[in-house]
C-alpha cells in the first residue's frame, strides 16, 4: 500500500506526519510526504519520499520577509490564500499518483480531499489540537484577520460564523479548481476538509477531546517521532557543567523583539543558566558569558528531562514533548492553538503562561512560579501519564480502513 501524507505549515504541522510515515515504513508500507520544501532534507534523510508543496516558510519567522509583509493586509492574505490553493491543485494530483489513501494534517490542506475524491481513494483528516474541531465545549480558534464579530457570542453562534467564514474565504477558489476535475461544488468547506470522522492526534491527558459535537472524533494520542540522536558535544558539556538550566525556544514562529535579552536576564535573576534555541527567528546570545549557550535543532526528548524549566511558544509538539518529559513550563502563546495549550498547562498545574509581550520582568516572575519544587513534582507525575502509542494507533486505524 502507498499512502500520501500531506500538510501545510511549520515543523509542528510536519513532524506528526513524519512520525506516521516512519511507522508505516516500519510496517512495510510505501509512503510519500507532501510538505513545504523546508523539510525535504529532513524527510529524505529518514528515507521518506518527498514532494514539495508551496513556498518555503522559514522566512516567515522574520518580520521583514516578503511573505510576512503580504500577510499584514486583508488583500495580501486573500491573494496568498488563492495562490496556495491553486498550487495545491497543481502539486497534489501528481504526488497522489499510485497512492491508495491520503492523510491530511492541518486545516489549510484545502485541496487534499478534492484530489483524493478525484482519484477515488480514501481520505482522512487529522487535527493536532481539540479546538480545531467544532464542539459545544470550546470556541473556534482565531486565525490572523479572522476574529469573530462578537467574541462573547454563544458557542454555537461562533461555530456557525466560523463555518460561514470558511465558505467565504475558501469556497470560491476551491470550487473553481474542482470544476475542471468534474467534481461538484462544495457548499460546506470546513465540513468537506474535516469530514464527519476526523482523527485527533493529541494526548488525551494534555489535550482531551470533549463533546458534544456533530463529529465522530477518534483521538489516537499524539503522534510522537522517536528521536535517538545524541545531543551535540558542546551541549552535553554545558549540561554537565552545573545545575539544570532553563530552556528557551520559539521553534518555527516569529519571536518577539529583544526576547533573547529578556530570557537570559530572567534566568540569571534566578541564578540559572540558559539554553537559547535559535529557531527560525535565529535568536542569539547577548554576551560571551559561560552561563548561556545557543543551540540549533536538537533532540528535545533527550534535552528536556535535563532542564529545570522549558519556556516556549506553546505549539502542540513542543508542549507535548515538555509535558512528556515531566518538566515545568512557561508558555508565551502567540497564535491559533497556543493559547489553548497555555490554559491546559495551567489547569494541569505543570506550568504557567505569559499574556501579551514578554519582557525580563514577566519572564522572571513566571520562572519564580514554576521553579518551585511542588510544580516540578506535579510535572513529573503528569509526564508519566502521557501516552506514547498514538502513532501506532493511527497506523492501525489507517491499515484497517484501507
pLDDT digits (tens, 9 = 90+) for 144-190: 667 788 888 999 999 999 999 999 999 999 999 999 999 999 999 99
Q: Which residues fall within 8 angstroms of residue 201, CB to CB, at 6 or more apart?
A: 16, 105, 126, 127, 128, 220, 221, 222, 223, 390, 394
Mean pLDDT of 361-375: 97
Of the candidates 14, 92, 10, 91, the residue with the CA atom closest to the CA atom of residue 56: 10
Task: Check residues 8 and 107 and name the one with the higher pLDDT.
Answer: 8
Provide the 10 A C-beta neighbour count for residue 352. 19
Distance CA 285, CA 288 (A): 8
C-alpha cell at 275: 539554553
How far lies 265's CA from each of 4, 198, 365, 371, 392, in Å? Answer: 46, 44, 12, 16, 42
Instruction: State the Cα–Cα distance between residues 229 and 220, nearest whole angstrom.
Output: 26
Q: Where are the domains of the chain?
A: 2-222+388-401, 233-383
Residues 6+ apart with CB under 8 A from 226: 19, 22, 301
The mean per-residue pLDDT over the stretch 34-62 comes to 84
pLDDT recorded at residue 44: 95
- Contact status, residue 386 vs residue 350, Cβ threshold 8 Å: no
Low-confidence winner among 94-98, 126-130, 210-214 (lowest mean pLDDT): 210-214
Chain-wide mean pLDDT for the chain?
91
Q: Residue 109: left if φ>0, alpha if ψ -120 to 50, beta else—which one?
A: beta
| pLDDT for residue 142 | 78
The CATH homologous superfamily for domain 2-222+388-401 is: Glycogen Phosphorylase B; (3.40.50.2000)
pLDDT level of residue 121 (50, 70, 90 thresholds): very high
Whole-angstrom distance, CA of residue 44 vs CA of residue 33: 9
The reported pLDDT for the residue numbered 356 is 83
The CATH number corresponding to 233-383 among 3.40.50.1820, 3.20.20.70, 3.40.50.300, 3.40.50.2000 equals 3.40.50.2000
pLDDT at 251: 77
Render 47-78 in DSSP notation, one character per residue.
Answer: T-EEEE-SS--GGGGSTTSHHHHHTTSHHHHH
Angle at which helices 155-178 and 112-119 cross, to 10°: 50
**Could you tell me where the beta strands, DSSP code E, fall in 216-259?**
218-219, 246-249
Angle at 280 between CA 330 and CA 96, to 5 degrees: 110
- CA–CA dist 14, 317 (Å, integer): 10
Q: What is the pLDDT of residue 69?
A: 56
Task: Work out the angle between the directed axes of helices 390-401 and 11-26 (0-180°, nearest 10).
Answer: 60
Q: Is 276 exposed, middle or buried (0-12, 13-18, 19+ CB in 10 A)?
A: buried
The pLDDT value given to residue 59? 54
2-222+388-401 shares its CATH topology with 233-383: yes
- pTM, to two decimals: 0.92
Q: What is the reported pLDDT for 72?
A: 57
Give the residues across from 309 on adjacent strands.
Answer: 246
What residues form DSSP beta bridges with 310?
247, 329
Q: Which of 170, 221, 218, 225 is nearest to 192 (CA)?
A: 170
Asked if 92 and 53 touch (Cβ cutoff 8 Å), the reply is yes
Helices 316-325, 11-26: inter-axial angle, 10-degree rounding: 70
- pLDDT one-digit tens code per residue, 323-356: 999 999 999 998 888 999 999 999 999 999 998 8
For 254-277, write each residue's pLDDT tens digit.
Answer: 777 688 899 999 999 999 999 999
Amino acid at each position: 500500500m502507498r499512502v500520501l501524507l500531506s500538510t501545510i505549515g511549520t515543523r509542528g504541522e510536519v513532524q506528526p506526519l513524519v512520525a506516521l510515515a516512519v511507522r508505516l515504513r516500519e510496517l512495510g508500507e510505501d509512503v510519500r510526504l507532501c510538505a513545504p520544501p523546508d523539510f525535504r532534507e529532513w524527510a529524505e534523510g529518514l528515507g521518506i519520499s518527498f514532494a514539495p508543496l508551496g513556498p518555503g516558510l522559514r522566512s516567515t519567522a522574520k518580520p521583514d520577509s516578503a511573505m510576512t509583509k503580504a500577510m499584514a493586509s486583508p488583500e495580501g492574505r486573500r491573494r496568498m490564500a488563492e495562490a496556495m490553493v491553486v498550487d495545491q491543485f497543481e502539486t497534489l494530483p501528481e504526488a497522489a499518483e499510485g497512492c491508495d489513501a491520503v492523510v491530511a494534517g492541518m486545516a489549510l490542506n484545502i485541496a487534499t480531499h478534492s484530489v483524493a475524491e478525484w482519484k477515488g481513494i480514501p481520505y482522512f483528516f487529522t487535527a493536532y489540537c481539540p479546538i480545531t474541531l467544532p464542539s459545544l465545549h470550546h470556541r473556534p480558534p482565531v486565525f490572523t484577520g479572522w476574529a469573530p464579530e462578537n467574541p462573547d457570542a454563544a458557542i454555537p453562534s461562533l461555530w456557525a460564523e466560523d463555518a460561514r467564514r470558511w465558505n467565504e474565504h475558501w469556497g470560491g477558489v476551491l470550487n473553481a479548481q474542482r470544476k475542471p476535475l468534474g467534481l461538484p461544488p462544495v457548499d460546506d468547506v470546513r465540513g468537506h476538509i474535516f469530514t464527519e470522522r476526523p482523527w485527533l492526534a493529541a494526548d488525551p491527558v494534555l489535550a482531551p477531546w470533549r463533546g458534544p459535537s456533530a463529529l465522530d472524533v477518534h483521538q489516537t494520542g499524539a503522534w510522537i517521532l522517536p528521536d535517538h540522536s545524541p545531543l551535540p558535544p558542546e551541549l552535553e558539556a554545558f549540561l554537565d557543567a552545573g545545575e539544570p538550566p532553563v530552556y528557551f525556544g520559539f521553534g518555527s514562529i516569529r519571536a518577539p523583539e529583544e526576547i533573547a535579552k529578556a530570557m537570559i536576564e530572567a534566568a540569571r535573576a534566578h541564578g540559572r543558566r540558559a539554553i537559547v534555541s535559535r529557531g527560525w527567528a535565529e535568536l542569539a546570545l547577548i554576551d560571551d558569558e559561560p552561563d548561556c549557550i545557543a543551540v540549533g535543532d536538537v533532540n528535545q526528548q533527550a534535552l528536556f528531562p535535563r532542564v529545570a524549566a522549558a519556556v516556549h511558544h506553546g505549539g502542540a509538539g513542543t508542549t507535548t514533548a515538555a509535558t512528556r518529559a515531566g518538566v515545568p513550563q512557561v508558555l508565551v502563546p502567540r497564535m491559533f492553538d497556543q493559547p489553548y495549550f497555555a490554559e491546559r498547562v495551567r489547569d494541569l498545574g505543570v506550568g504557567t503562561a505569559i499574556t501579551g509581550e514578554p519582557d525580563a520582568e514577566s519572564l522572571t516572575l513566571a520562572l519564580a512560579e514554576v521553579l518551585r519544587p511542588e510544580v516540578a513534582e506535579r510535572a513529573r507525575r503528569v509526564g508519566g501519564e502521557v501516552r506514547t502509542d498514538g502513532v501506532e494507533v493511527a497506523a492501525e486505524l489507517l491499515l484497517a480502513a484501507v
